[in-house]
Chains A and B, each alone.
Chain A
Amino acid sequence: MDPFSSLCDEVKFLADVLFDGQMNHSQMERLETLIVQDVACMQAYVERMTFHAELLKDSREQSPAQASATAIKEFTQAVRIRERRRWLMSLGLYAAMALCLIAATGGMLFVSGIFQASPVAVISNLASEIRAQSGNLELGQVLRQGETFAVHEGLLSLQLPNVLVDVLGPATFRMESASRVHLLSGTVLAKITPGGEGFTITTRDVTVVDLGTEFLVCHAPGEGTNVSVRQGRAQASLLDWRGKPSKIVELTDHRSAVFQASSQVSREIVFQEDLFTPIDRVRGGIRSIDGAVRTGAKPHVALSSGQVLTPRYMLVIPEQQNLVLSQELVVNGVEGNIRIPAGSSISSYLVHYDPTALVTAAPRGAVTFFEEIATIIVDANDLKKTDALLGLPGLRFESATFRQFELDEDEARISKDRHTASFYCGINPSEFLDEARIIVFSSGRTENVPKTENTFIQENSMK
């Protein structure tokens, strides 16, 4: 075998062998391994096959008219073959086929009925301050292909297959498919997990194809589009007046570029970390929420009793994110005392529930994180002890002990996989306010990320 300077070169070689009809068993296995394990190899394979298809086209036709002729020839030839086969069939077989056809047509009609507006995404997170043109948006609501949404204010998160999309209002977007979103205006952040590569965001200026990454697209009609890659790699194609790519820019970690179709300008600019901040502030490392939970980042002066009422849901507020502990943190959590060693990187989320006396239904809900949960603090003393370190700066907290979760009535649990925290808040009239603090190990943008098993030592058994 030829020596290869890169895996992509090897894939190109194997694609050529396959195209030339000389592939053997071991070569096929090697090709499978490369394209499944490496997105760049996958891309190299598709590029190579597209290359061969183009050369075939070039050899077979010289004009669009001849392309039409080829299409017709293929088609009529295929129809003739079918016709000939049909004549050879018996009447009984004909009848059976007719029945099959009826069933298949019915099935196709049924399937096409679904496909005309197939579900492509689910709302997985809603900020408390969300306002949208399309009326009430609800957690778990299914968005269908072709639907357009306008979010006036707040953050909306959508779960697509292997892709989490955050839409920051004001924004208008259209769901093109399960792997494609068209942004008419506003800001969208896409976080891609394995299997979601190829996810695409389009605007009038640019088409951004993900190649395994976390990237943000901010589009203002008439002004242009900013594409910022926080992690991984994305391919941004500047579009011309026909909507066809005219220039390609590949962006990697911490790189930003602006694109304007009208002036055909694309240029790299200083990485725009601040564009991510409003989204990080609301969602942090939350993957999804369920039940009576909303996320929020509206600046509050005080969270003491009666200041921020949440009659219908528990509010989850991202606090300090990716904080590297300068010294060991020892707290009493729902599973007993834990020690989080100095040097660990953690993120904190405050759960705040403050209903009025008129509320009669107790809320239940859950928050799921990308990273593992270290613990949930429910005790008033430990909440107070960590307010200064983990809370948002300048925020006043309730000093009375009734702020804590009363575990005889309220519930706080961590799932087996340690990614989900579930809550149930009782509505005891004498003590409305309930607060808890979720501490999550953080990774990604911090160095020396600790692993769960080694980073905290549980001192006591479960309460």
Chain B
Amino acid sequence: MFNPLEHKDFCDEVGGPSRESEFLRQLALAYHEIYSTGLTIVGNRDDADDVIQEVCVVLWQKYEEFDEGSNFRKWAYTVTFNVARAYARKRRRRQGFGLSDYALMKVAQMKTGGNEFFELQCDVLQECLGKLPQADREFLSGCYRHSTTLTSYARQRGKSVETIYTKLKRLRKRLSDCVARSLGKGE
């Protein structure tokens, strides 16, 4: 079993005393939630990866100011939202379009307010994933592991991007239908 407290790279990097270990432990626990929040604000995985990298640095830089008695997740959530929003603003200026600050704020409120519900949905999604045939599950994993455009994955599998994308859409729909049924939404 991997033990983050003994991770050499990290200890070499930051010196290794217990506060750093504690930071790492809390970061690992909150990591998925942070990622999910970042992705919800910026919208795509490549941007989310960049944002999360930045979030990790900011969290570490500000960790000295973090009160050990308070809630790491909430604190990390606030930092993530601020970093992701700043990123989304820059991207909006660069691209000429993007969700407004108001929409992002509302999205963040919804994400925080319904956190437990969304967690439940994730649990249900995991159950639904378990029901997929192994081949479909591997295909899905492959699509999500590869870059945004799916081109490299399509090339690797010797298929056209359209074929890959059609199958991906079908699997997504099957999963969301399964989640909706399990939650009694009746879709």
- A residues contacting B by CB (< 8 A) are 12, 15-16, 18-21, 23, 25, 28-29, 31-32, 35-36, 39, 42-43, 45-47, 49-60, 64-72, 74-82, 105, 108-109, 112, 116, 179-180, 195, 197-200, 207, 209-210, 235, 237, 244-245, 248
Contact = CB atoms under 8 A, between A and B. Distances in A.
Contacts of B60: 75, 79
Contacts of B96: 25
Given A59-B141, A59-B144, A198-B114, 4 more contacts: A23-B43, A28-B99, A53-B39, A200-B113
Given A20-B148, A28-B99, A248 B183 contact: yes
Given A105-B65, A179-B112, A74 B9 contact: no
Lowest 9 A-B CB distances belong to which pairs?
A: A198-B113, A65-B2, A59-B144, A21-B148, A53-B36, A68-B28, A59-B141, A49-B40, A18-B43
Interface in B19-49: 24, 27-28, 31-32, 35-36, 39-40, 43-46
Interface string B124-153: 011001000000000011111100111000
B148 A80 contact: no
A108 B176 contact: no
Considering residues B7, B96, B106, which has the most beta carbons from chain A within 10 angstroms of its beta carbon?
B106
A198 B117 CA distance: 11
A21 B117 contact: no
B181 to A, nearest CB: 13
Given A16-B172, A71-B24, A75-B24, A56 B39 contact: yes
Given A74-B56, A116-B67, A248 B117 contact: yes
Contact of A75 (B56, B169, B172): B56
A68 B40 contact: no
A280 B126 CA distance: 45
B106 A54 contact: no
Nearest to B43: A18
Nearest to A21: B148
B53 interface: yes
A400 B99 CA distance: 64
25 contacts: A20-B165, A32-B99, A35-B106, A36-B100, A45-B107, A46-B111, A50-B36, A55-B144, A68-B28, A69-B4, A71-B24, A71-B28, A72-B28, A75-B60, A76-B10, A195-B106, A197-B113, A199-B113, A209-B113, A209-B116, A237-B117, A237-B120, A245-B120, A248-B117, A248-B184
B110 A42 contact: yes
Given A56-B39, A112-B65, A77 B53 contact: yes
Given A19-B44, A58-B129, A82-B57, A47 B121 contact: yes
B62 interface: yes
Nearest to B56: A75
A261 B175 CA distance: 29
A210 B110 CA distance: 10
A60 B39 CA distance: 15
Q: Give chain B's interface secondary structure class.
A: helix
A18 B44 contact: yes
Given A12-B176, A21-B46, A45-B107, A65 B117 contact: no
B6 to A, nearest CB: 11
Interface of B: 1-4, 7, 9-10, 13-14, 24, 27-28, 31-32, 35-36, 39-40, 43-46, 52-54, 56-57, 60, 62, 65, 67, 70, 96-100, 102-103, 106-107, 109-114, 116-122, 125-126, 129, 140-145, 148-150, 165, 169, 172, 175-176, 179, 183-184
Nearest to B62: A108
A78 B54 contact: yes
Given A36-B103, A67-B31, A59 B140 contact: yes
Contacts of B140: 55, 58-59
B144 A43 contact: no
Contacts of B110: 39, 42-43, 46, 197-198
Nearest to B24: A72
Given A79-B13, A237-B116, A244-B119, A20 B53 contact: no
A82 B183 CA distance: 44
Contacts of B44: 18-21
A237 B120 CA distance: 9
Contact of A244 (B54, B98, B116, B183): B116
Contacts of A25: 96-97
A198 B115 CA distance: 10
Contacts of B99: 28, 31-32, 35
A361 to B, nearest CB: 43
Contacts of B98: 28
A295 to B, nearest CB: 29
Contacts of A49: 36, 39-40, 43
Given A20-B150, A59-B145, A65 B1 contact: yes
Contacts of A198: 109-110, 112-114
A72 B10 contact: yes
Contact of A32 (B62, B65, B103, B141): B103
Contacts of A109: 65
A335 B45 CA distance: 62
Contact of A53 (B4, B32, B46, B62): B32
Nearest to B7: A72
B57 A79 contact: yes
Given A51-B125, A56-B144, A209-B114, A28 B97 contact: yes
Contacts of B53: 74, 77-78, 81
A28 B3 CA distance: 43
